[in-house]
């Protein structure tokens, strides 16, 4: 195989330039973000050649066989989400976030601004999860017996809504507190660890719980913890696969 276009050394130098005087954990945090972006680009690369194979006449079964997965799995991964008009191209920041997860971040921003701050906090993100009732995180939270009122009272947040379409420029303009950034890093870490090719509201919830911040501690007192959430995610994934007739890979 020819020399790979990007070496690990190049990536290491890139991360170090992001924090010239950073501590080891600063570098680790940036490396996780870069790894997530690389995963987005990997999806885009595979998607390009999947589309080329489809245009040349290969079936989903043939493509899935070459990739070592079922045709259902490859269709799920590479057929465009929603209606094919996703405003965020593959490889862009937040491109792997589901529509529910993107809207959650915008509602969190609306909550922060209503409280008089331009920066989204982890508490805003947690409360905003319940504004997407069809998202898995909201189902997990409500099944634990936590109401919207309970969540706002515990976190000190207030109800807000946002009708803005979650486009790339709008999402990239969001500003986050340190706790929220830690939650986003935890979100990407959870997504990578679980082997999922998307970032949903459930991953945001796991990311928030993975931090040692005030929001994580508050959610724990309400009865939420990472183990409970991860078990619920595993159960949901297994149920969806069973409904689609897919087998574990």
| Domain boundary assignment for the chain | 8-78, 99-244
Report the DSSP pairing between strands 175-176 and 119-120.
parallel
Q: Does domain 99-244 have CATH number 1.10.10.10?
A: no
Spatial separation of the C-alpha atoms in residues 178 and 163, rounded to whole Å: 26
- Residue bearing tokens 């508050």: 218
Q: What span, in angstroms and rounded, lies between the C-alpha atoms of 198 and 70? A: 18
- Residue 123, SS3? helix
Task: Specify the range with the lowest mean pLDDT, choosing from 78-82, 154-158, 168-172, 242-246.
Answer: 78-82
Mean per-residue pLDDT of the chain = 83
Tens digit of pLDDT for each residue in 186-242? 998 888 888 887 889 999 999 999 998 999 999 999 999 999 999 998 888 788 777
Instruction: State what percent of residues in the chain have pLDDT above 90.
Output: 39
Q: What is the pLDDT of residue 82?
A: 40
DSSP three-state, residue 176 = strand
Q: How far apart are CA 72 and CA 60, in angstroms?
A: 8
Q: Count other Cβ atoms within 10 Å, centred on residue 123.
A: 29
pLDDT of 136 higher than 50 = yes
DSSP string, 52-118: HHHHTT--HHHHHHHHTS-HHHHHHHHSPSTTS--SS-TTSTTTTB-HHHHHHHHHHHHHHHHTT-S
Give the Cα separation of 207 and 232 in Å (integer): 15
Please indicate whether residue 165 or residue 224 has the higher confidence score (pLDDT): 224
Q: CA–CA separation, 122 vs 59, rounded Å?
A: 44
Higher pLDDT, 29 or 160: 160
34 or 142, which is more confident? 142
For residue 242, what is the enclosing H or E element?
helix 226-244
What DSSP designation does 249 have?
A: -
Chain CA centroid to CA 230, Å: 14
Closest alpha carbon to 42 in 194, 192, 244, 233: 192
State residue 175 phi and psi, 5-degree precision.
-115, 140
Looking at residue 111, what is its pLDDT? 95
Looking at the DSSP assignment, which residues form a beta bridge with residue 77? none
Q: What's the pLDDT at 86?
A: 53
- Quote the pTM value: 0.66
Angle among Cα 188, 205, 24 to the nearest 5 degrees reads 40
Q: Which of 87, 114, 82 is nearest to 172 (CA)?
A: 87
Identify which of 3-7, 69-73, 116-120, 239-243 has the greatest average pLDDT: 116-120
Q: In whole angstroms, how large is the CA radius of gyration of the chain? A: 19
Stretch 119-131: mean pLDDT: 96
């Amino acid at each position: 195989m020819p020399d790979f276009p990007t070496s690990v050394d190049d990536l290491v130098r890139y991360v170090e330039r992001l924090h010239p005087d950073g501590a080891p954990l600063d570098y680790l945090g940036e490396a996780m973000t870069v790894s997530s972006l690389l995963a987005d680009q990997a999806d885009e690369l595979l998607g390009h050649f999947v589309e080329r194979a489809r245009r040349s006449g290969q079936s989903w079964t043939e493509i899935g066989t070459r990739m070592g997965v079922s045709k259902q799995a490859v269709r799920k991964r590479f057929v465009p989400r929603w209606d094919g008009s996703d405003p965020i191209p593959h490889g862009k920041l937040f491109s792997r976030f589901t529509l529910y997860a993107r809207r959650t971040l915008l509602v969190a921003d609306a909550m922060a601004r209503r409280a008089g701050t331009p920066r989204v906090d982890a508490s805003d993100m947690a409360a905003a999860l319940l504004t997407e009732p069809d998202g898995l995180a909201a189902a997990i939270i409500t099944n634990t017996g936590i109401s919207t009122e309970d969540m706002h009272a515990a976190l000190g947040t207030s109800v807000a809504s946002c009708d803005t379409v979650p486009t790339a420029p709008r999402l990239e303009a969001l500003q986050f507190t340190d706790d929220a950034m830690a939650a986003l890093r935890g979100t990407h870490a959870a997504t990578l660890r679980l082997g999922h090719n998307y970032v949903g509201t459930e991953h945001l919830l796991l990311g928030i719980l993975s931090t040692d911040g005030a929001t994580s501690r508050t959610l724990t007192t309400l009865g939420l913890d990472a183990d409970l959430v991860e078990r619920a995610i595993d159960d949901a994934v297994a149920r969806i696969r069973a409904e689609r007739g897919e087998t574990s890979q």
